[in-house]
Structure 1
Amino acid sequence: MQIDYDILIVGGGMVGASLAHALAGSGLRIGVIEAWPLDSDAQPSYDDRVIALSWGSRRIMDGMGLWPLLQPEAEPITGIHISERGQFGFARLNSRQEGVEALGYVATARAMGAALQKGLQAQADVEWLCPATLLSFSVTDDGVEVRLDRAGTEQRVGARLLVAADGGDSPVRGRLAIPLQERSYGQTAIIANVTAEQPHQGIAYERFTDSGPLAMLPMTEGRCSLVWSARDDQVADIMALADDVFLQRLQHRFGYRLGQLQRVGRRVAYPLRYRQATESVRPRIALIGNAAHAIHPVTGQGYNLGLRDVAVLADLLADAARERSDPGEMALLNRYTEWRHQDQRRVALITDSLARLFANPLPPLRFARNLGLLGLDALPGLKHLVARQFMGLNGRLPRLARGIPLR
């Protein structure tokens, strides 16, 4: 089999493009299969959704040299306020107490895509195969042969390692018949930009309600990004509301911490599901990002978890390139699985537990969790551990997550 690439990435969205950028200049030949043309505004990964970036993700982007391209479009999160609607408990996290410039940042997926594409334009060792659709692939001892459809013409390419960054409905994972642990939360996230009467001052609000968590994240131009988790049976009615009625309903659930809510942008709804692939590697194949796991958006950890997949896999592959060893060998892929297992499971457990715990209406449980919030607010040591988890700084960190370039 002819080997055209060392690494062939299926999916040129945020996670796949991040991996390509992380590996650029490492001496590896990299190909990216993407269904959309590079100049297409319809690329679903680069729409107007808002991405919450942890402090750890900012360090990864620093290590990749991408942060200067994104920083002008990223709004710092200097504080987090956590509460439950109609209850007494609350907790606050603050960047000054953690000794960092910000706990995280908020940017649109479109701005992220622009930074990634600009950063990759100058990389001669990254080749885009797009628009192209994966037809099939076959694995041998030496590599993976991939069949592509490019504008009605079949093309075959070979690689040492195939990386699936092709989203929650990953065709690669499906063709491998890797089982999923999966369940629905019975909730749908309603996403929109909101302008309030008072400035957000860099504070992110996480407010738990009887229908699911409701987040208001600080954005540029004084706006906030709304992530409203509503029950599935409520979504059609909420989406059909006129803007003024929608704002009234939102005001009732969020409160007046930002004063009067004045304006809302276009609303989009996304069903929420928990998904975890039972395997993240097979011979000569690795799964990253949503192809391997999808979690509830509470605490905003989705892309951050995928970016840490990128940082670990890139760390191992860069070492393999320096040592001139096979980037697709099973020993390397097993090290990737072992390194990522604890973080992936911990974040899935935290987000799943929070979504379920705060949805339980039993009065004793409601009282206990509000006492827990007050305890978190009053105990600096515990607050520090929680902040480090949300900032993506717990556990064994790869070089990029410490801000150290791979090249």
Structure 2
Amino acid sequence: MQTMPEVDVLIVGGGLVGASLARALAGSPLRIALAEAVPPADPGQPSFDDRSTALAPTSRRLFQALGRWSEIAPEAAPIRGIHVSDQGRFGVTRLRASDEGLETLGHVAPNRVLGRALAAGLETQANLHLYAPARVTEVEQSDAGVRVGLDGDAVPERIHARLVIAADGSRSRLRKRLGLALTERDYGQSGIVANVAPARDHGGWAYERFTREGPLAVLPQTGGRCALVWTMNTERADAVMALDDDACLAQLQQAFGYRLGAFVRLGRRQAYPLQLLRMPRRVAGRVLFVGNAARTLHPVAGQGFNLALRDVAELAERLHAVACAGGDPGAAGVLHDYERARQADEGRVVALTDGLVRLFSNANPFLALGRNLGLLAMDLLPTLRREFAHQAMGRRARLPRLSRGLPLQMMVDDGTS
């Protein structure tokens, strides 16, 4: 009979969030297993898709602390300014890194680059056993731990963990298996993502343009390219996806304008439905949900992944401290304390993203006047501008060690947390 492996922490899902957490715990005494349905280096791995992600400074510092930034940096474009506008109206706000005494407000990196950097060397991490491909087939909880059934090539039929962390995406199979509640708000929109090449140099500027159809983001990339996230109602998105490249570029040009000159080339397009998905509680016994499995946000302002990485940093810090003290990582007190610690940051980010979508999708002329006056005031008043910039960069939250670029291993030596 096959012996059932026992670990302290089982991470289900090895995408960008799950792999980041596995790496964050590399120096801890915890015994970790990572179960991922698609092998990390497989071209079909979702982390290797064509999308790009805007990284806040807190996310860059986390990758630096994990020793991954040097692999990401060559293909990460710095954001030196952010231009926010409302199509057809006078409101505009400009945020400049130099105004905050910074070199950059963040970076934009292709997901395939992030996925590759996080996956490299996972299979040799000393305290980690990687099971891929592996799918969860059953989950059975007890007071002492969780027994998880696995299906895949050369994986154990069952594994016992004191804590299971679900990082398996917005349509989490583990969440469905446990029958857990999820609140959903369908925005009736889809986001079209692609790479575009403008005639002019973007100069490190990111553009967030609120059109009558939805927000349109054009983000700087290396090589003079830009990453496009074009939001519109789902029916219209289907029609745009059916256009040839020239016709699609013409409609994009009309929506965005000529701040970067003419768009001269369009990469492969993909469309994604946009919803606000949120678990009322992220803890179910000894199972904890993180990343898109816990909440999925509208992409406006590029907050979702950065919020998830602050989750990772907080969780890794707490689990590392518990492990060093000889405690139980799946204890109810540990998980509920973590959940409470992350509520304020999550609440602010959800309110920001959902509020922006609602505010700028409302055609009421008085509301339109108010929001444009607000944009203009933010552009003219440094205090308002700085407050918005700090929220966008993740500075309003309590920052764990990894989000400040500090390794966890020093916690025991210097007594900090």
Q: TM-score, normalised by structure 2?
A: 0.95
Kindly state the Cα deviation for residue 236 of structure 1 after the two structures are TM-superposed: 1.6
Q: Stretches of 4+ moved more than 2 A in 1?
A: 119-122, 151-154
Cα distance in 2 between the residues matched to 1:214 and 1:307: 24
Report what 1:239 is aligned to. Answer: 241
Select the residue among 348, 351, 376 that pairs with 1:349: 351
Contact 2:5-2:156 at 8 Å conserved across structures? no
**What SS does structure 2 have at the residue aligned with 1:201?**
coil
Kindly state the Cα deviation for residue 154 of structure 1 after the two structures are TM-superposed: 6.2
Report what 2:24 is aligned to. Answer: 22
**What SS does structure 2 have at the residue aligned with 1:296?**
coil
Report what 1:144 is aligned to. Answer: 146
Select the residue among 116, 119, 143 that pairs with 1:117: 119
1:122–1:95 Cα change, 3 Å: farther
**What SS does structure 1 have at the residue aligned with 2:162?**
strand
Contact 1:296-1:351 at 8 Å conserved across structures? yes
Report what 2:307 is aligned to. Answer: 305
**What SS does structure 1 have at the residue aligned with 2:157?**
strand
Select the residue among 339, 362, 373 that pairs with 2:364: 362
Cα distance in 2 between the residues matched to 1:188 and 1:2: 44
Deviations, residues 293-348 of structure 1 (Å, cap 9, x unaligned): 00100001111111111111101001011111111111110111001111111101
Cα distance in 2 between the residues matched to 1:84 and 1:189: 18
Deviations, residues 74-104 of structure 1 (Å, cap 9, x unaligned): 1110100000111101001111111222111
**What SS does structure 1 have at the residue aligned with 2:301?**
coil
Cα distance in 2 between the residues matched to 1:164 and 1:99: 38
**What SS does structure 2 have at the residue aligned with 1:245?**
helix
Cα distance in 1 between the residues matched to 2:337 and 2:67: 26
Kindly state the Cα deviation for residue 237 of structure 1 after the two structures are TM-superposed: 1.2
**What SS does structure 2 have at the residue aligned with 1:317?**
helix
**What SS does structure 2 have at the residue aligned with 1:299?**
helix
Report what 2:6 is aligned to. Answer: 4
Report what 2:415 is aligned to. Answer: none
Contact 1:21-1:119 at 8 Å conserved across structures? no
Report the residue type matching 1:359 in the other structure. S
Report what 1:375 is aligned to. Answer: 377
Deviations, residues 134-163 of structure 1 (Å, cap 9, x unaligned): 001111111111101124976111111000
Cα distance in 1 between the residues matched to 2:246 and 2:105: 33
Select the residue among 269, 272, 276 that pairs with 1:270: 272
Deviations, residues 60-81 of structure 1 (Å, cap 9, x unaligned): 1122222112111111101000
**What SS does structure 1 have at the residue aligned with 2:377?**
helix
Deviations, residues 126-185 of structure 1 (Å, cap 9, x unaligned): 111111110011111111111011249761111110000000011121122221111110
Select the residue among 57, 60, 70 that pairs with 1:58: 60
Cα distance in 1 between the residues matched to 2:330 and 2:155: 28
Kindly state the Cα deviation for residue 401 of structure 1 after the two structures are TM-superposed: 1.0
Cα distance in 2 between the residues matched to 1:38 and 1:194: 27
Contact 2:135-2:151 at 8 Å conserved across structures? yes
Alignment of 1:1-400 (within 5 A): 4-151=6-153, 155-400=157-402
**What SS does structure 1 have at the residue aligned with 2:408?**
coil
Identical positions, percent: 50
Deviations, residues 269-290 of structure 1 (Å, cap 9, x unaligned): 0000001101111221110000
The farther-off stretch of 93-102 and 224-233 is: 93-102
Report the residue type matching 2:284 in the other structure. R
Kindly state the Cα deviation for residue 27 of structure 1 after the two structures are TM-superposed: 1.2
Kindly state the Cα deviation for residue 119 of structure 1 after the two structures are TM-superposed: 4.9
Kindly state the Cα deviation for residue 2 of structure 1 after the two structures are TM-superposed: 5.7
Unaligned runs of 5+ in 2: 410-417
1:81–1:28 Cα change, 3 Å: same
Contact 1:15-1:310 at 8 Å conserved across structures? yes
**What SS does structure 2 have at the residue aligned with 1:257?**
coil
Contact 1:3-1:143 at 8 Å conserved across structures? no
Unaligned runs of 5+ in 1: none
Contact 1:66-1:119 at 8 Å conserved across structures? no
Cα distance in 2 between the residues matched to 1:58 and 1:39: 22
Report the residue type matching 1:282 in the other structure. A
Contact 1:193-1:265 at 8 Å conserved across structures? yes
Kindly state the Cα deviation for residue 16 of structure 1 after the two structures are TM-superposed: 0.2
Contact 1:3-1:160 at 8 Å conserved across structures? no
Contact 2:131-2:155 at 8 Å conserved across structures? no
Contact 2:5-2:158 at 8 Å conserved across structures? no
Kindly state the Cα deviation for residue 393 of structure 1 after the two structures are TM-superposed: 1.3
Report what 2:413 is aligned to. Answer: none
1:263–1:140 Cα change, 3 Å: same
Kindly state the Cα deviation for residue 122 of structure 1 after the two structures are TM-superposed: 4.3
The farther-off stretch of 38-47 and 213-222 is: 38-47
Cα distance in 1 between the residues matched to 2:354 and 2:317: 29
**What SS does structure 2 have at the residue aligned with 1:116?**
helix
Kindly state the Cα deviation for residue 38 of structure 1 after the two structures are TM-superposed: 3.2
Kindly state the Cα deviation for residue 192 of structure 1 after the two structures are TM-superposed: 0.7
Give the alignment's Cα RMSD to 1 decimal.
1.4
Cα distance in 2 between the residues matched to 1:185 and 1:359: 10
Q: Work out the number of aligned pairs and report it.
A: 407
Report the residue type matching 2:259 in the other structure. R
1:225–1:153 Cα change, 3 Å: closer
Cα distance in 2 between the residues matched to 1:350 and 1:134: 34
